[in-house]
Structure 1
Amino acid sequence: MRRLLATMLTLLAMVATPAAAQQPGTLISAVPMQDTPPGVQAWQVRYWTANQNGALFQVTGIVAAPMEAIPARPRRVIAWTHGAWGVAEKCAPSISPNFFAATAGIDAVRQGYVVVAPDYIGLGNPTMHPILVGPDTANSVLDAVRATRQIPGAAAGSSFAVWGESQGGHAALWTAIAARSYAPDLTLVATAAAAPPTDLAANLRDGSDKNARALLLSFTLHSWSTLYGFSMDKIASRTNQGIIRRLAENNCISLEKKPKFGMILGVLTIVRATKNKDIAKIEPWGSFARANSVDAARVSGPLLIAQSSNDTIIAPAVTRKFAKAVCRRGAKLRWIDMTGGHVDAARESAQETISWIGARFDGLPEPNDCRRV
């Protein structure tokens, strides 16, 4: 009965006035999900967002909340920003049967949080995904938090934390940069990033797993060339450009399945083709990578970074260099050292991260690990 009532209230809440119907952050639909973890209620959502140029997009995601009576006070919110799943529409986390198993942020629901997990622009919706494009991604995250507040059963407040892994770490840091100007109606209390790309050219160049590096580079090249018309001629031959396009259009990252033979061959070809290519030195790729890298001086606190010394995809030295830049400007930083692999970054640091986020909501003094970064 409680779920039926929440669904009815959600449908009533979505009868927006025509003038507001397409405003960024407006909820379009929230469909209750049936297969959810014990104690968790969830909705597949669709909402409006805008990119940095003001173009409007319908985008998707999942909102999860405790399966409890609506509390007297609004619930605390965590925006979970996912790592790389691909750049094709079919790669949206929200349509994956493995969403809950693959989403470390869901652990926070059991501690009373509402968790909103946006797909970002272009995943689950028919446009190219602007992978690692900071402002566009940040807008979609902030608008997801706004949309979540329009689901009565979620009972979400206006204060939120953002927590992400890998590509989602980049998204979390950019959300911290954009929050105050783009969404002054929300209050960001904490930002947590596990294995985040920060200097994009360095991250695409310095990861020790050359196969993963080639696949991520292919996703990025295809996305940026499609969206912005950047030529790949100085990076790859026309034949290899076709391989890059097929890798990006046909493949999603899945930890549950072995890669297809064609994907393996394509990746090995791109490894060879881009062996001595550094996009930092090739325009307009270099300038765009720098513009979408994370400027430590612009990231507002409180801030937590978790990084494994054994990460083969996000070079630990690049993340540590960013952390040192944060500390040099006098900001406090919570730093978590880990020893697992890249794909375990958020899971390995989840307990400490959720505890740290809770302390920020409680207004407790921030710890500072800058001396040991």
Structure 2
Amino acid sequence: MRHLFAAVLLTILSVLSLPAAAQQAGRLISADPIADTPAGMQAWRAQYWTTSQSGAPLAVTGIVAAPREAIPPHPRRVIAWTHGAWGVAEKCAPSLSPNFFTATAALDAIREGYVVVAPDYPGLGSATMHPFLVGVDTANSVLDAVRAARAIPGAAAGSSFAVWGESQGGHAALWTATTARSYAPDLTLVGTAAAAPPTELAANLRDGSDKNARALLLSFALHSWSTLYGFSMDGIANKSNQGIITRLAQNNCVSLDKKPKIGTILGILTIVRATKNKDIAKIEPFGSFTRANSVDAARVPGPLLIAQSRNDTIVAPAVTRKFAKAVCKRGTRLRWIDMTGDHGASARESSAETISWIGQRFAGASAPNDCAKL
């Protein structure tokens, strides 16, 4: 019995001593091949380590996709795809969705020989609250996904990458560019593309013309931030409506191919009324938090591509254009793509031009500059 106890104790101690090395940011935990992928593509469901802004280790998930062909003599070019809003509940992870391959615009680049690294972000597919529109936490998970992909032999991913995102992912892409050099000096960022990116968060949550979408996204943000940081919603909604906000966030994933349930519709209408005259920029601590997690045009390096539809009802075109002008004022080279489709088609509508632009960045070509048009 004494020997058995000693053996059990030794096992426990060995497990407890493992995390310091095993939880290193960017370390791959597992990569499980996906059997059913589009023609010419191979993919893996990956789990890897990242860190929160506070330095806490987090095990997170995503998908890595690559051409289904022989490993090339040189590492493949990498695109980090940063997805738009799918929700804030664990079940809303893109990697868990049967629609992942059809919904991910960056996968068009596989035929050009790219590896596409598609992180879920913390809390989507992993057991923690998702930091919705929280810049540093999201950017860390993107950069660590690129690192982790390099440990998958069949992917043959290199250390040079572009980041491309849509909607919430546009915000993630811009934050990834902002922090890449300091957080991941072992990686080389060649360019950043953002389709319909939220940049000034309070304005984005206030100025989109689709009031129902605004209410749902605000519910995601309020639930995420109040859960993670203990922010009280008392200045925004009464206790009953706070419960509705929580249920909307916990029970709903964004789905473009399904009509919302009647309970979701009624909940959204209630929050529309409850927040009609509320500006979170003027309500603390939300005001300070939205400013801290907005994108600072002065800190985003070039070259940069922004695609924005003038008919976008969720990310107000005027807010994006204001950000683009601020970027140009800093002397950053900017490719501006003006579109006319709806918000959900932003990345698809600009896909061909974006992939071509990314290819030119990898080739070392001089970046175009459309600042004079703005």
Q: TM-score category by the smaller chain?
A: over 0.9
1:3-152 aligned at under 5 Å gives the runs: 20-152=21-153
- 3-state SS of 2:45 partner: strand
> Over aligned residues, Cα RMSD in angstroms?
0.7
CA–CA distance in 1 between the matches of 2:362 and 2:20?
Answer: 34
CA–CA distance in 1 between the matches of 2:218 and 2:32?
Answer: 35
Q: Deviations over 1:195-223 (max 9, x none)?
A: 00000000000000000000000000000
CA–CA distance in 2 between the matches of 1:301 and 1:324?
Answer: 14
Asked if 2 retains the 8 angstrom alpha-carbon contact of 1:20 and 1:26, the reply is: no
In structure 1, stretches of 5+ residues that fail to align are 1-16
Which residue does 2:243 correspond to in 1? 242
Distance of aligned partners of 1:18 and 1:242 in 2 relative to their CA distance in 1, 3 Å threshold: closer
1:305-344 aligned at under 5 Å gives the runs: 305-344=306-345
Q: Deviations over 1:25-47 (max 9, x none)?
A: 00000000011010000000000
Matching residue's letter, 2:274: A
CA–CA distance in 2 between the matches of 1:62 and 1:324?
Answer: 34
Which residue does 1:261 correspond to in 2? 262
CA–CA distance in 1 between the matches of 2:234 and 2:51?
Answer: 31
CA–CA distance in 1 between the matches of 2:244 and 2:259?
Answer: 19
User: How many aligned positions are there?
Assistant: 357
CA–CA distance in 2 between the matches of 1:329 and 1:299?
Answer: 10
Aligned-pair CA distance for 1:19: 5.2
CA–CA distance in 1 between the matches of 2:21 and 2:359?
Answer: 34
CA–CA distance in 2 between the matches of 1:329 and 1:189?
Answer: 19
Aligned-pair CA distance for 1:18: 6.7
Aligned-pair CA distance for 1:20: 2.9
Aligned-pair CA distance for 1:332: 0.8
Matched, 1:201 2:202: yes
Matching residue's letter, 1:113: Y
Matched, 1:181 2:170: no
Q: Larger Rg: 1 or 2?
A: 2
Aligned-pair CA distance for 1:333: 0.3
Which residue does 1:5 correspond to in 2? none
CA–CA distance in 2 between the matches of 1:224 and 1:356?
Answer: 35
CA–CA distance in 1 between the matches of 2:76 and 2:350?
Answer: 23
- 3-state SS of 1:117 partner: strand
- 3-state SS of 1:231 partner: coil
Aligned-pair CA distance for 1:279: 0.2
CA–CA distance in 1 between the matches of 2:362 and 2:58?
Answer: 31
Q: Deviations over 1:129-172 (max 9, x none)?
A: 00000000000000000000000000000000000000000000
CA–CA distance in 1 between the matches of 2:332 and 2:303?
Answer: 8
Which residue does 1:271 correspond to in 2? 272
Asked if 2 retains the 8 angstrom alpha-carbon contact of 1:222 and 1:245, the reply is: yes
- 3-state SS of 2:212 partner: helix
CA–CA distance in 1 between the matches of 2:341 and 2:21?
Answer: 46
- 3-state SS of 1:20 partner: helix
Which residue does 1:221 correspond to in 2? 222
CA–CA distance in 2 between the matches of 1:38 and 1:282?
Answer: 50
Matching residue's letter, 2:191: A
TM-score after normalising by structure 2: 0.95
Aligned-pair CA distance for 1:324: 0.1
Matched, 1:294 2:295: yes
Aligned-pair CA distance for 1:267: 0.3
Matching residue's letter, 1:132: L
Asked if 2 retains the 8 angstrom alpha-carbon contact of 1:190 and 1:301, the reply is: yes
- 3-state SS of 1:59 partner: strand
Asked if 2 retains the 8 angstrom alpha-carbon contact of 1:42 and 1:63, the reply is: yes
Which residue does 2:3 correspond to in 1? none
- 3-state SS of 2:154 partner: helix
Which residue does 1:9 correspond to in 2? none
- 3-state SS of 1:154 partner: coil
In structure 2, stretches of 5+ residues that fail to align are 1-17
Which residue does 2:349 correspond to in 1? 348
TM-score after normalising by structure 1: 0.95
Which residue does 1:283 correspond to in 2? 284
CA–CA distance in 2 between the matches of 1:277 and 1:107?
Answer: 41
Asked if 2 retains the 8 angstrom alpha-carbon contact of 1:311 and 1:342, the reply is: yes
